[in-house]
């Protein structure tokens, strides 16, 4: 007997029409993939928060509008991410200007409403693949004589040179490996990381702001790009966001 994989999704949007559209797309894509999605619709963020606070509700997928009365989607997404670090958060909105902030929250995808039919299925299919096939390829591994440590690429905020070592700063802690930054860079996912100067690599996902040469990271640390690298950094950041925004 084949077991059907089931997911729960919360759809938060003050427009009933868009909630219905999103639910239809989610369930259609899930059905074609041989999976099931149980959708719960919320017209306000506060209603979802109440259910989460009550302790009985849990969702694998959150599809959030951004501009809503009361608590907006960004505030809601930030609160969800703090509670549930590994859930899938997808923003569906009419405005592209919130894209950078959405990735500070580690959103899975940022989709413009006029491209929901095209982009939401792709995001959901990608999520299905990730949950079903998360492999060693998603992790960076440091092996020494005494121990092995591994952590997800997406959790790396920056990598810096410290003498003969590369230091990996993640959300949780700092790791060290006796390896050059150039050798480390060759093992990172292409297009997700960028040198901002000879001694620092940053994860573009964790760039929350740029002001001339100063780059603010998701842990509130500010690092400075060298003049020689600045043009390349801007090009790589632009290329990264263009892949993410629908």
Which pLDDT score is estimated for 106? 54
Give the Cα separation of 116 and 109 in Å (integer): 11
Q: What would the pLDDT profile of 111-141 be if each residue is shown by its tens digit?
A: 888 888 888 998 888 888 877 665 567 788 8
Residues 101 and 25 placed together within one structural domain of the fold = yes
Is residue 119 one of the residues assigned to a domain?
yes
Assign residue 19 the CATH number of its domain. Answer: 3.40.50.2300
What is the edge-to-edge ordering of all strands in the sheet holding 5-12?
A: 35-42, 5-12, 61-64, 88-93, 109-112
Residues 69 and 116 placed together within one structural domain of the fold = yes
- Judged against a pLDDT cut of 60, whether residue 20 lies above it is answered with yes
Assign residue 229 the CATH number of its domain. Answer: 2.40.50.1020
* Average pLDDT along the chain: 85
Residues 143 and 127 placed together within one structural domain of the fold = no
> What is the domain range of residue 57?
5-133
Where among 110, 133, 156 does a domain terminate? Answer: 133
Q: What would the pLDDT profile of 177-196 be if each residue is shown by its tens digit?
A: 999 999 999 999 989 999 99
Where among 103, 133, 163 does a domain terminate? Answer: 133
Split into its structural domains, the chain has a count of 2
Is residue 96 one of the residues assigned to a domain?
yes
Closest CA to 152 of 188, 176, 177: 188
Residues 108 and 154 placed together within one structural domain of the fold = no
Which pLDDT score is estimated for 245? 62
Is residue 180 one of the residues assigned to a domain?
yes
Residues 13 and 36 placed together within one structural domain of the fold = yes
Where among 78, 112, 133 does a domain terminate? Answer: 133
Is residue 227 one of the residues assigned to a domain?
yes
- Judged against a pLDDT cut of 60, whether residue 9 lies above it is answered with yes
Residues 161 and 83 placed together within one structural domain of the fold = no
Q: At what angle do helices 73-83 and 45-54 cross, to 10 degrees?
A: 20
Residues 103 and 146 placed together within one structural domain of the fold = no
Residues 93 and 204 placed together within one structural domain of the fold = no
Residues 12 and 115 placed together within one structural domain of the fold = yes
Is residue 245 one of the residues assigned to a domain?
no
């Amino acid at each position: 007997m084949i077991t059907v994989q089931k997911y729960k999704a919360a759809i938060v949007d003050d427009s009933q029409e868009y909630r219905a559209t999103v639910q239809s797309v989610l369930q259609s894509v899930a059905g074609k993939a041989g999976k099931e999605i149980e959708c719960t619709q919320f017209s306000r963020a506060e209603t979802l928060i109440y259910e989460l606070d009550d302790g009985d509700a849990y969702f694998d997928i959150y599809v959030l509008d951004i501009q809503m009365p009361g608590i907006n989607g960004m505030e809601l997404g930030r609160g969800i991410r703090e509670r549930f670090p590994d859930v899938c958060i997808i923003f569906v909105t009419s405005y592209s200007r919130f894209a950078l902030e959405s990735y500070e929250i580690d959103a899975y995808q940022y989709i413009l409403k006029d491209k929901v039919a095209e982009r939401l299925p792709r995001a959901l299919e990608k999520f299905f693949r990730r949950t079903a096939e998360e492999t060693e390829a998603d992790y960076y591994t440091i092996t020494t004589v005494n121990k092995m440590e591994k952590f997800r690429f997406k959790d790396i905020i920056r990598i810096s040179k410290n003498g003969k070592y590369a230091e990996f700063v993640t959300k949780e802690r700092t790791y060290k490996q006796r390896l050059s930054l150039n050798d480390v860079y060759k093992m990172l996912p292409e297009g997700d990381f960028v040198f901002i100067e000879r001694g620092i690599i940053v994860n573009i996902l964790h760039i929350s702001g740029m002001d001339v040469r100063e780059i603010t990271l998701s842990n509130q640390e500010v690092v400075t790009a060298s003049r020689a690298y600045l043009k390349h950094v801007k090009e790589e950041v632009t290329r990264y966001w263009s892949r993410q925004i629908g």
